[in-house]
Amino acid sequence: MAVLEFRRAGLTGRLQPLDLTIRLGETTVLLGRSGAGKSSLIGLCNGSLLPDEGSVLWQGHDLNRCRPAQRRQIGTLWQDLRLVEELTVLQNINTGALGRHSLLWGLRNLLQPLEPELGDVLLHQVGLSNGLRDQRVSGLSGGERQRVALARLLRQQPMLTLADEPLSALDPRLANDVLNLLLDQSSCVISLHRPDLMHRFQRVLGLRQGELVLDAAPSAITEATLAWLYSEG
């Protein structure tokens, strides 16, 4: 079942118009050199960027006209994390649930972080101690912040998970844990700089100079194809 469709959607100077369908239950990795257009494609997928031409549809509806209730079905692990620095770990995790609750719930979360038990479960899931629960995220290390952002994503329970370079700042063991958690989500599109991990996905999309040049199963991709994808010029 198609959840996200690109219909000749493009961004002038960054991403050439492309047709693409992301299906439910499918895990997809996005490969390409820096500046190839991976972040732009993720931006179009979550609606933070608007296509200059064509359209992006979420479950058949124009993504940019979708109501918040529909948009909360797409979750993103941002490259720069985008946590609210002044809030605590638990308050940040709870922001993942704001779309499902009332304004009053959100205000109460600002006064006193809500549902600490659920927060503890998520912290455990992402490998963080629940002692961090009431700390401000501004005081955490890079790896800890990354996992708080992941916990927020898990709290959101999205239908489609997007992640932009989620492993770049992590040590190998932690990177493996984070990737496992992301792949446990029902559907995901993850941009990576690690072609060696592509066999863990069902589908590989390759971008080169803003153009989608590869869309295949990992088993169909040769070393030569990867070398060309990462070559200059």
Q: How far is the CB of 91 from other proteins (least distance, A)?
A: 8
Q: How many residues bind other proteins (CB under 8 A)?
A: 32
75 counts as binding other proteins under rule CB under 8 A: yes
For other proteins, the closer CB: 48 or 129: 48
Q: In the window 88-127, what residues touch other proteins (CB under 8 A)?
A: 95-96, 98-99, 103, 106-107, 109-111
Q: Given candidates 23, 33, 55, 70, which one binds other proteins under the rule CB under 8 A?
A: 70
Query: Which DSSP helix (H) or strand (E) runs through 40?
Result: helix 38-46
3-state helix, strand and coil shares in percent for the chain, rounded to the nearest 5: 40, 25, 35
Q: How far is the CB of 87 from other proteins (least distance, A)?
A: 5
27 counts as binding other proteins under rule CB under 8 A: no
85 counts as binding other proteins under rule CB under 8 A: yes
Q: Helix, strand, or coil here: 139? A: helix
48 counts as binding other proteins under rule CB under 8 A: yes
DSSP annotation of 72: T
CA 45 to chain centre: 9
Q: Given candidates 52, 53, 86, 184, which one binds other proteins under the rule CB under 8 A?
A: 86
The sheet that has 187-191: what strands, in order across it?
74-77, 160-164, 187-191, 27-31, 203-208, 211-216
Spatial CA neighbour of 185 closest among 212, 150, 220: 150
Q: How far is the CB of 153 from other proteins (least distance, A)?
A: 9
For other proteins, the closer CB: 97 or 214: 97
For other proteins, the closer CB: 54 or 106: 106
Query: Which DSSP helix (H) or strand (E) runs through 179?
Result: helix 172-183
Give the position of tokens 């608007």.
50
Q: Given candidates 14, 23, 33, 82, which one binds other proteins under the rule CB under 8 A?
A: 82
End-to-end CA separation in angstroms for the chain: 37
Contacting residues toward other proteins, per CB under 8 A: 46-48, 68-76, 78, 80, 82-87, 95-96, 98-99, 103, 106-107, 109-111, 156, 158
